[in-house]
Structure 1
Amino acid sequence: MKLNIGTVFSGIGAFEQALEKMNLAYNVIFACDNDKYVKQSYFANYDISEENWYNDIIQLNGSKYKNKIDLFVGGSPCQSFSSIGFQKGLDDDRGLLIFEFIRLVNRLGT
């Protein structure tokens, strides 16, 4: 059996690499990241269709994937909270993206 996964803030697929290292079979149902070079790398390494890639989490309608995902993962941008960043928290647009992750958790859930 393969896990059906959805990822946001997908980067170049660290989570997917972890699954591979654990020899766990998976299908990427959707992925999302806003960097065009990240997208190129992701498409070079993982089996995903253009229609299931999202450049903007705000545009991702989780209802489309309801009951199709076994595991949903994402690490929202940390720059807003990190001691390396400016620590603006929720006053930084990137900090607000955690709410988009929560929105998708609610849409994907049963």
Structure 2
Amino acid sequence: MTALDALTPNLIEQNAESDPDNPPLTNAELKRMQTARAVRAVRASRGMTQAAFAETYGIAVTRLRDWEQGRHVPDSMALAYLATIAHEPEAVARAFEKARAA
């Protein structure tokens, strides 16, 4: 039996919370991470690289990278756009291409 096996879940959590090198994440940090994963999941569901996704849907690739890496959180309009892409990707791509051609 190792020392770790002897620890209860509560003691493990207490030790983790008191570790100065690994402070708990704030609610804002957790939300930013969740949003980053959600943005990445929309792109991954299309099987596209960041560059291809950005080009197809008219998003600056640097902005997309910032969202996916949690450096910035998309505003409500961008989140709505990403949700629309998630549900109707082909329709959004066609609409964006028509708008770009006009």
Fold match (TM-score > 0.5) = no
Q: TM-score band, normalised by the shorter chain?
A: under 0.3
What is the TM-score of this pair, normalised by structure 2? Answer: 0.26
Higher RCO structure (Cα 8 Å, ≥6 apart): 1
What is the TM-score of this pair, normalised by structure 1? Answer: 0.25
Higher helix share: 2
**Greater radius of gyration (CA):** 2
Higher strand share: 1
